[in-house]
A and B are shown apart, each in its own frame.
Chain A
């Protein structure tokens, strides 16, 4: 199966790989997995007191599409408010990366990851 240029670009030059301090009150951590393919994804956001996502990091063990999906999401959420970030849908990710149907679940995983990170952040802040 051929990967799109955008997937290859994110795979070869992943943006924002790494971690944020998960004990920081302003950091939300999302951990999701897809037993179907054995992929695991950690996505973290650091939010300013105004509710703007100022930094995002990810670590993904999985295929190229899963890595590209999470890399793209970290780029997209930076500078957005948490509520804006919640509007990111897996379709947007899949479309942007031109994912084939068999790889749509990778974009679903990335959407789940950002949601989980925001939920974790809100829980910490008592907003959940």
Chain B
């Protein structure tokens, strides 16, 4: 049997973190949560993870900045990073793609589709 897939979700909204936590842990994923890009970077420096799911608009370090920093280092260069955002502009999507995001999901999210995407990018 596969070992449990570990996910880090990065979102500044406590309500959104609770929704994500429920949607993912109920499907058997091991979920850690960070409230902005800075906290995520600190956590990722010390912990292993299989997939990162990040919001874009966050204080301190936003989603674009987080993706860029992760892609610059060796440890998380190839880590799947899914962007989960209310942003629907093509320009922002292109920017995320250029920064090195693996995928783009517009909120409100559908738990089944989110879980399917996590399974796809983590295998």
Do A and B originate from a single complex? Answer: no
Residues of A participating in the B interface, judged by any CB pair closer than 8 Å? none
